């Protein structure tokens, strides 16, 4: 990851509640630059009784999301606390959709691959859409 002003900055692949600018802004007090991205070799699961998804490595599957760019060490700590112990932060390779380049990023992967609450094959509707089908803007 890059260094800015003596601090390391990171990329973070997000695919669930962190797709929503208002959630990111509430946590980080800003909306970082981002790029749409695909994480190959993973699958997004719904979790029974929860409004947020999980991802796990699964061959021949992919997860669409976006990469938050320029995340500081402090912001990464805040995201770690938000994701809590149910997720493990791992380094992944993602494909950026707007440039076809590959990039390394952190991603939060569900800690328990055998969790009976994970539901295979149920899609997750991105939280970036408003109830009327529009997109949220200017929230931070």
Q: Which of 34, 93, 97, 92 is nearest to 64 (CA)?
A: 97
Positions marked active-site: 83
pLDDT value for 100? 78
The tens digit of pLDDT for each residue in 20-34 reads: 999 999 999 999 999
pLDDT at 7: 74
**Percent of the chain's residues with pLDDT above 70:** 81
Q: Domains along the chain? A: 3-119 (3.10.490.10)
Q: What pTM does this model have?
A: 0.84
H-only helix segments in 3-137: 21-28, 73-83
CA 75 centroid distance within chain: 14
Q: Give 46-102 pLDDT, tens digit per residue.
A: 999 998 999 999 999 999 999 999 999 999 999 999 999 999 999 999 999 988 789
In 15-53, DSSP assigns E strands to 34-47
Strands 102-110 and 7-14: parallel
């Amino acid at each position: 990851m890059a260094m800015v002003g003596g601090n390391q900055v990171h990329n973070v692949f997000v695919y669930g509640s962190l797709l929503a600018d208002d959630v990111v802004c509430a946590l980080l007090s800003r909306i970082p630059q981002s790029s749409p991205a695909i994480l190959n070799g993973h699958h997004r699961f719904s979790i029974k009784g929860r409004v947020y998804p999980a991802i796990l490595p699964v061959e021949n599957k992919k997860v669409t999301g976006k990469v938050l760019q320029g995340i500081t060490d402090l912001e990464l700590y805040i995201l770690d606390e938000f994701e809590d112990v149910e997720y493990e932060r791992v380094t992944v390779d993602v494909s950026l959709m707007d440039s076809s380049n590959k990039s390394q990023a952190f991603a939060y992967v569900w800690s328990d691959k055998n969790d009976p609450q994970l539901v295979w094959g149920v899609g997750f509707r991105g939280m970036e859409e408003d109830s009327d089908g529009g997109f949220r803007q200017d929230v931070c």
